[in-house]
A and B are shown apart, each in its own frame.
Chain A
Amino acid sequence: MSPSPADIAASIEAFIRREASVADDDLGFSRQVNLFDAGYLDSLTVVALTVHIEEALSTPISDTDLFDPRFATIDGMAELVAERAGRTADAAPGITADS
């Protein structure tokens, strides 16, 4: 069964909090904040995040996905990953579709 968007968001949030050393009392950090605008994601963290999503959530993130407007927030990422996870589950084994 695919994880819910809420589960995905929780996984992504925990990862970003850890990788970007976000303080527990950082009031600017939320699942809706633009992570690039606010400086929570740098190029190294983005790379590590895409690998985390692929390994922990079994969903590959393509180069195109990096520029999906939804990829700027945790909630948006969760929606994108849930969408991709559904597509991956529907795809025939061994075939990778380009987005």
Chain B
Amino acid sequence: MLETHLPVTNACWTPSEGAHSGSVTPDMARMLLGRFADVRQDGGQVIALRDPLGLNKLYAAFHPDAGVIAANYLIDLVRAGTSFTDIYAIPPGSVVTLDPQHRTGAVRRFAALPGRAGSDRTVGELAAEIIALLDQGMQHLAAAHPDLPVAVCLSGGADSSVIASYARRHFPQSVAYSYCLDARPLSEDAIAARAVADHLGLPWRLVRADRQALLDTIPAALLHGQDWRDFNVHAGIVNEVLAAAIATDHPAGALVLTGDLMNEFLADYTPVTHDGIDYYRLPRLSPDRLRIHLARGLQTGDREVGVFAAHGLTVVQPYGWAVSPLLALSEPVSKPQLMMALARGTLPAAVLQRPKLRAQIGDRNAETGVLPQLLRAGIDQQSLEDHFRRTLGIRSPLELRTTVRGGVHQPVPAPRIPAEGHHESLTS
């Protein structure tokens, strides 16, 4: 009736109950902050659920012999004999009752993103709420994992630097890890990361990888990052390099804190131009709409959770706890003002006001990053898509576009009479 392949552990908490890493029931789901996914058999039904942002991936397929097969990784369903086009995603923020007989799923939403970002709340109010969430979450994590090694992925940008400052306070044994390309002079980001680690008093571990090492990670980045789009694959490659280094240092596992998700919630990404071509393009939307779109897109692609989990590491993205207040910030958002408030005087203003650099680029001239290195090796967007399709047995580009549209993996078909559900806005 139910076969599961769920190696990715849950990492979530509630203000009243503390950290939670076990199974999650539908009743618990709306209370939890963080990432989780769960599937259980309940009589003749299979109940599946997933966190509001879809940070933990959860796919399901109907199998003629096994009933429902559920997995965190697409490859496990493919290996179980499922065609890619027969794989469905459990929608984020949903409890889905799967009916193997009719091959449908009744969706009940317990959380949904707002239509656009912003609110009438002040930056000061929202910053105070974000600070409280970051502190509470880290306190709960520290209490639940007192002996687990803690690594902080420190790019040198403001987002990861602020997370490093919280890690320093709540996990004094933390070690900062930064990526840099081979033996060249340090990138701007790596130099900044070293300065931040020094300032905070964190031990700093520089992880270098040459072009061949980057190329060698592509299969793993595609497989566990579960995406073919260059912006996610390139980030997944950097994470793969860092994850391998952290896992080598801590073979029994570690908690990995990252500054991911802030870029989505504030939409402070910009396209990158290399050799006259724009990469990492974004849809043309107003900032308040783009922020919601980028947050919504987190449900597809696994560049961080999937990549680190494949190395036995538990990744924690603290900004995800604060999705509601972060999306409630009204446009135009002053990122330096926000980060200054969140840092609470622990970091120099210059760190918090640095222009945004993508971790996979690492330098203003875009020569030391993953993008130019892959392009020089002939690995472009089409190559990545081809490789991804071969990995998952996707027979044509059309099959891929049929199954994943607009950054959304196809949901389970609804029963003929849709179940009505109650929506609870993430910003309510």
Binding site for B on A (CB under 8 A): 19, 36-37, 43-48, 50-51, 54, 60, 63-64, 66-67, 96-99
Asked if A36 and B406 make an inter-chain contact with CB atoms under 8 angstroms apart, the answer reads: no
Q: Please give, as numbers and ranges, the residues of chain B lying within 8 Å of A36 by CB-CB distance.
A: 398, 401-402, 405
Asked if A97 and B420 make an inter-chain contact with CB atoms under 8 angstroms apart, the answer reads: yes
Q: Please give, as numbers and ranges, the residues of chain A lying within 8 Å of B115 by CB-CB distance.
A: 54, 60
Q: Please give, as numbers and ranges, the residues of chain B lying within 8 Å of A50 by CB-CB distance.
A: 406
Q: Does B283 contact A (CB under 8 A)?
A: yes
Q: Please give, as numbers and ranges, the residues of chain B lying within 8 Å of A96 by CB-CB distance.
A: 112, 423
Asked if B406 and A46 make an inter-chain contact with CB atoms under 8 angstroms apart, the answer reads: yes
| One of B108, B283, B398, B423 near A47 (C-beta < 8 A) | B283
Asked if A51 and B285 make an inter-chain contact with CB atoms under 8 angstroms apart, the answer reads: yes
Task: Identify whether the interface residues of A are mostly helix, strand, loop, or mixed.
Answer: helix
Q: Please give, as numbers and ranges, the residues of chain A lying within 8 Å of B406 by CB-CB distance.
A: 43, 46-47, 50, 66
List CB contacts (< 8 Å) of B379-407 with chain A.
398, 401-402, 404-407
Q: Please give, as numbers and ranges, the residues of chain A lying within 8 Å of B108 by CB-CB distance.
A: 98
Asked if A64 and B398 make an inter-chain contact with CB atoms under 8 angstroms apart, the answer reads: no
Q: Name 5 extra pairs, CB < 8 A, besides A36-B401, A46-B405.
A: A44-B281, A48-B283, A48-B285, A51-B283, A54-B115
Q: Whole-angstrom distance from the CB of A50 to the nearest CB of chain B?
A: 7
Q: Does B50 contact A (CB under 8 A)?
A: no
Asked if B405 and A98 make an inter-chain contact with CB atoms under 8 angstroms apart, the answer reads: no
Asked if A43 and B405 make an inter-chain contact with CB atoms under 8 angstroms apart, the answer reads: yes
Q: Whole-angstrom distance from the CB of B382 to the nearest CB of chain A?
A: 13
Q: Whole-angstrom distance from the CB of B94 to the nearest CB of chain A?
A: 8
Asked if B420 and A44 make an inter-chain contact with CB atoms under 8 angstroms apart, the answer reads: no
Q: Whole-angstrom distance from the CB of B111 to the nearest CB of chain A?
A: 12
Asked if B407 and A47 make an inter-chain contact with CB atoms under 8 angstroms apart, the answer reads: yes
Q: Please give, as numbers and ranges, the residues of chain B lying within 8 Å of A54 by CB-CB distance.
A: 115
List CB contacts (< 8 Å) of B396-428 with chain A.
398, 401-402, 404-408, 410-411, 414, 418, 420-421, 423
How many angstroms between the C-alpha atoms of A50 and B112 in the bound complex? 17
Q: Please give, as numbers and ranges, the residues of chain B lying within 8 Å of A98 by CB-CB distance.
A: 107-109, 418, 420-421, 423
How many angstroms between the C-alpha atoms of A54 and B423 in the bound complex? 18
The 9 lowest CB-CB distance pairs between A and B, nearest first, are A46-B406, A47-B283, A44-B283, A66-B405, A48-B283, A63-B408, A98-B421, A67-B410, A47-B406
Asked if A63 and B91 make an inter-chain contact with CB atoms under 8 angstroms apart, the answer reads: yes
Asked if A44 and B411 make an inter-chain contact with CB atoms under 8 angstroms apart, the answer reads: no
Nearest to B297 among chain A residues (CB) is: A47
How many angstroms between the C-alpha atoms of A44 and B293 in the bound complex? 10
